[in-house]
Amino acid sequence: MDKQPSSQVHRKSEVTIIAGFLGAGKTTLLRKILSWESDLSETVVIVNEFGDVGIDGSLLKNAGSDVVELTGGCICCTMKVDLNQTLKEIRREFNPRQIFIESTGIADPSMITDAFDDPELRDQMDVSRIITVLDIELWEARDYFGPIFFNQLRQADLILLNKIDIMDENKISQFLKEIHEMLPDAQVVPTIHCNVDPEIVLTDRTRTPQLVNFDELAHHQHDHESGEEGRHAKEAAQFPFISFTFRSRDVFDEVCFDRFIVNLPWELFRMKGPVRFRDRTVLVNYVGGKKEWSTWDGEKETCLVFVGWSVSEEETIQKLKSCLKAKEG
């Protein structure tokens, strides 16, 4: 990454922390994030490895982004001072638009965010999100992993429940319900190989939505992967993900529509698009149990895209239509 011009000195860098227990899929997610960006010239990646060799860093260098490897210890303890200093040096030299920190699997995210209590860093950087990748098999055995495991989840803005293709469907529904009950403020999205809509992960809300086509994605992986990864990719192609749309120029009852969102099943983890009410049209963005409403200046019509798995399109649309107001006249 080239050094940035002085005219951008006062721009804050957006920091994303990627957490998750050992083997959950953090590096897989980070590599996918970097593959979405057409221009990595303003991106810095900090990879923390517990050990002497930063293996993940050597893999990520091929993505074209700067990789800073903090080896020999954990960011959250012995390397905390080095992280602080590294962030200051990165800011002074490059003034990046975004920084991704992949923490070691035994790191508590709070000990990483503590580095940003430094007044200099607080003035120059914002921790925009903490994303925790959760191996679904580890949730089943969660009582054995101690407080760090749960802290990684409690502090997350977004939890990717990963590797769902290796778990019985009934257990997935059960686990989603349990996670939402334990962590009601977090977004929870089930994934295979961390395949997820870029808009869910990235903080730039102006990006064009790119909803994942899981069949095409799994086919692509099958062509380029082998061994265990290839086997899971073939299984993913058979997994019951579903995507469908609903369009209408009719007016929705706002109270009913809000109730419709609240009662969506956890398996329906993505819904986005404009919704037309009597006095306005709003953009609704629903991800993993959480919704955002924002202004919409486009066409006065409803156009919603749904993504989930093992959900009934017919039943979902029927419930949605029940919120349409009767036409006058």
- Span 25-34, mean pLDDT? 89
Least confident of 7-21, 30-44, 75-89, 181-195: 75-89
Q: What percent of the chain has pLDDT over 70?
A: 75
Q: Which residues of 201-228 are buried (b: 16+ CB within 10 A; e: fewer)?
A: bbeeeeeeeebbebeebbeebbeeeeee
Q: Which residues contact 136 (CB under 8 A, 6 or more apart)?
A: 161, 162, 163, 164, 166, 167, 172, 175
91 or 211, greater pLDDT: 91
Is 241-321 in the same CATH topology as 10-201?
no
Q: Does residue 86 surpass a pLDDT of 50?
A: yes
pLDDT band at 57 (very low <50, low <70, confident <90, very high): low
Q: Which of these CATH numbers, 3.90.1150.10, 3.30.1220.10, 3.30.565.10, 3.30.750.24, describes 241-321? A: 3.30.1220.10
> Tokens in use for 158?
């977004």
Q: What is the DSSP letter of 240?
A: -
Q: CA nearest 203: which of 6, 8, 24, 37?
A: 37
Q: Mean pLDDT over residues 91-98, rounded? A: 89
d(CA 41, CA 288): 31
Query: For the domain 10-201, what is the CATH code?
Result: 3.40.50.300
Return mean pLDDT, the chain. 80
- Entry pTM: 0.76
pLDDT digits (tens, 9 = 90+) for 106-126: 888 888 898 899 999 999 999
For the chain, what are the domain ranges? 10-201, 211-239, 241-321
Mean pLDDT of 303-318: 90
